[in-house]
Amino acid sequence: MKSELKFDRAALGSHKTSWLRVILGTLLVLAGLTSALVTVLARRAEESGLAGAAAILSLLIALLLTIFIVPPLARSARAEVASIDLPFEPTSGGGVFLVIIIVVGFAAWNTGNNLLFLVFSLLCSTMFIGWVSARSSLRDLTVSARFPDHIFAAEPAPVVRERVGRCLRVGPSRRIRSVHGRLVCGTAG
């Protein structure tokens, strides 16, 4: 009974702190918008002292947001993304390629340069073709393993026979095999 009561108090405490962060974040954002609005209005009224003070206040509020609000949001976003069960596993190379696509797309949109739009479309089509080809080559993949008849606790169990196969009726043939527990693709020969 006491352990349930402690758990409820802990859950209630974390719930209160999350609401406190929401309220604090909302108030800081509203204060930042208000100070930015005061900066713009003071600038139009040619009150440089008030405009400078409001701009400094706006920057301080942005700093407070960066220190107190952004890190918990980043942690919760990271936890939420980690809990998503994606049908693929993103790699660091794919992440770099995606960042390059975003940068080139923004540069093309910002400058209106046709050559950048051409490079952006080439990058997007390359990503799409890579996704389609990987999906089609792994679609009918079957993996089977056979273990020894007797397996004991806390002892490693070697795989007696492992088979990775693919039924291909039409299209290029690829040999897929397993090396140290990882699937490796090689051209059939």
Query: What are the E-state strand segments in the chain?
Result: 141-146, 161-166, 174-179, 182-187
129-186, pLDDT tens digit by residue? 988 888 777 777 676 777 777 888 888 877 766 666 655 555 554 555 555 555 555 5
What pLDDT, on the 0 to 100 scale, is given for residue 21?
79
CB 55 within 8 A of CB 41: no
Give strand pairing partners of 187: 174
pTM: 0.44
Torsion of CA 116, 120, 121, 125, to 10 degrees: 150
Measure the CA angle with vertex 159, ends 154 and 161; round to 5°: 160
What pLDDT, on the 0 to 100 scale, is given for residue 173?
47
91-107, pLDDT tens digit by residue? 888 889 999 999 999 99
What pLDDT, on the 0 to 100 scale, is given for residue 106?
94
53-75, pLDDT tens digit by residue? 988 998 898 898 888 888 888 88
Amino acid symbol at 164 = V
What pLDDT, on the 0 to 100 scale, is given for residue 97?
94
In the chain, what are the domain boundaries?
A: 2-83, 89-137, 140-189
- How would residue 14 be classed by pLDDT, with cut points 50, 70 and 90? low
Provide CB contacts within 8 A for 166, sequence distance 6+.
Answer: 140, 141, 142, 174, 176
How many whole angstroms separate alpha carbon 46 and alpha carbon 49? 9
How many whole angstroms separate alpha carbon 123 and alpha carbon 130? 11
- How would residue 188 be classed by pLDDT, with cut points 50, 70 and 90? very low
How many whole angstroms separate alpha carbon 111 and alpha carbon 120? 13
